[in-house]
Amino acid sequence: MTAELQTAVKQRRIALTGNHAVALAAKMAKVEVVAAYPITPQTPAVERLAEFVNNGELDAEFIPVEGEHSALSAVVGASAAGARVFTATSSQGLGFMYEILPIAVGLRLPIVMGVATRAYSAPINVWGDHSDIMSMRELGWIIYLVSNVQEAFDTVIQAYRVAEDPAVHLPAAVAYDGFWISHTLQPLEVPEDEEAVLKYAPITRSWRQLDVDRPASVGAVGTPEWYFEIRWQAYKALEDSVKVVEAADREYGKLFGRSYGFGSTYRAEDADLIILTYGSIYGVVKKAVDALRERGVRAGAAKLRVLRPWPRDFIRRALGGAGKVLVIDRALNHGGVAGPVATEVAATLAEPVYTAYATIGMRTIDSRGVARAAERVLSGEVRAMEPFTIGLRGGP
Amino acid sequence: MRLETVWVGRGGQGVVTAVYLIAHASIRDGLYALANPEFGAERRGAPVKAFLTLTDYLEDSPEPIKTPDVAIFLDDKLLEPMKIITDAVKPGGYVLVSSGKEPEKVAELVGRDDVNIAVVDGIGIALKHVKLAVPNAPLAGVFSRVFGFPSLESIRDALEAQLGKAVEANFAAAKEAYESVVVIKAKGAGGAREAVEIPTTSAFLTGPYELVPWQKVNKAGVVYPGSSLRYKTGSWRTEKPIIDHSKCIMCRKCWLFCPDDAVLEVWRDVEKGGKAVRVKEIEFNYDYCKGCGICADVCPTGAITMVREI
For the stretch A124-148, pLDDT in tens is 999 999 999 999 999 999 999 999 9
Q: Which domains does chain A have, with CATH numbers?
A: 3-259 (3.40.50.970), 264-389 (3.40.50.920)
Q: What is the DSSP letter of A280?
A: G
Q: What is the DSSP letter of A129?
A: -
Confidence at residue A3, expressed as pLDDT on a 0 to 100 scale: 37
The alpha carbon of residue A52 is apart from the nearest alpha carbon of chain B, in Å, by: 14
Dihedrals φ, ψ of B266, to 5°?
-125, 145
Would the CB atoms of B61 and A126 count as touching at under 8 Å? Answer: no
The alpha carbon of residue B226 is apart from the nearest alpha carbon of chain A, in Å, by: 18
- Determine how many CB atoms are found less than 10 A away from the CB of residue A187: 22
Confidence at residue A248, expressed as pLDDT on a 0 to 100 scale: 98
Q: What average pLDDT score do residues B100-108 get? A: 96
Confidence at residue B226, expressed as pLDDT on a 0 to 100 scale: 86
Would you say A379 and A358 are in contact if contact means Cβ atoms under 8 Å apart?
Answer: no
pLDDT score of B235 more than 90: no
Confidence at residue B202, expressed as pLDDT on a 0 to 100 scale: 54
Q: What average pLDDT score do residues B296-309 get? A: 96
B42 to chain A: nearest residue by CA?
A126
Would the CB atoms of A185 and B20 count as touching at under 8 Å? Answer: yes
Q: What average pLDDT score do residues A359-370 get? A: 94
Instruction: Please count the CA atoms within 13 angstroms of the CA of A39 that sit on its side-chain side.
Output: 32
Would the CB atoms of B62 and A286 count as touching at under 8 Å? Answer: no
Q: Nearest to residue A127, comparing CAs of A79, A82, A169, A182?
A: A182
Would the CB atoms of A147 and B60 count as touching at under 8 Å? Answer: yes
Would the CB atoms of B35 and A366 count as touching at under 8 Å? Answer: no
pLDDT in tens, A268-309: 999 999 999 999 999 999 999 999 999 999 999 999 999 999
Average pLDDT over chain A, rounded to whole? 96
pLDDT score of B62 more than 90: no
pLDDT score of A4 more than 50: no
**pLDDT-derived band of residue B122, with 50, 70 and 90 as boundaries?**
very high
Chain A residues within 8 A of B214 when measuring between CB atoms:
392-395
Confidence at residue B230, expressed as pLDDT on a 0 to 100 scale: 83
Buried b (16+ CB within 10 A) or exposed e, B161-196: bbbeebbebbbbbbbbbbebbebbebeeeeeeeeee
**pLDDT-derived band of residue A2, with 50, 70 and 90 as boundaries?**
very low
Amino acid at A208: R
pLDDT score of B41 more than 70: no
A282 to chain B: nearest residue by CA?
B61
The alpha carbon of residue B32 is apart from the nearest alpha carbon of chain A, in Å, by: 6
- Between A123, A185, A286, which is nearest B35 by CB? A185
The alpha carbon of residue A71 is apart from the nearest alpha carbon of chain B, in Å, by: 26
Least confident of A197-201, B247-251, B275-279: B275-279
Say how many residues make up chain B: 310
Confidence at residue B203, expressed as pLDDT on a 0 to 100 scale: 44
pLDDT score of A1 more than 90: no
- Collapsing DSSP to helix, strand or coil, A38 comes out as coil
pLDDT score of B61 more than 90: no
Q: What average pLDDT score do residues B281-295 get? A: 96
Q: What average pLDDT score do residues A310-323 get? A: 95
**pLDDT-derived band of residue A6, with 50, 70 and 90 as boundaries?**
low
Q: What average pLDDT score do residues B165-188 get? A: 96
Q: What average pLDDT score do residues B257-271 get? A: 94
Would the CB atoms of B35 and A126 count as touching at under 8 Å? Answer: no
From residue A207, alpha-carbon distances to A81, A107, A109, A331 in Å are 9, 10, 7, 33
Q: What is the DSSP letter of A306?
A: E
- What percent of chain B shows pLDDT beyond 90? 73
Confidence at residue B200, expressed as pLDDT on a 0 to 100 scale: 64
ipTM of predicted complex:
0.90
The whole model's pTM is what? 0.94
pLDDT in tens, A80-97: 999 999 999 999 999 999
Q: Nearest to residue B40, comparing CAs of A125, A118, A390, A176?
A: A125
Confidence at residue A342, expressed as pLDDT on a 0 to 100 scale: 98
Would the CB atoms of B61 and A283 count as touching at under 8 Å? Answer: yes
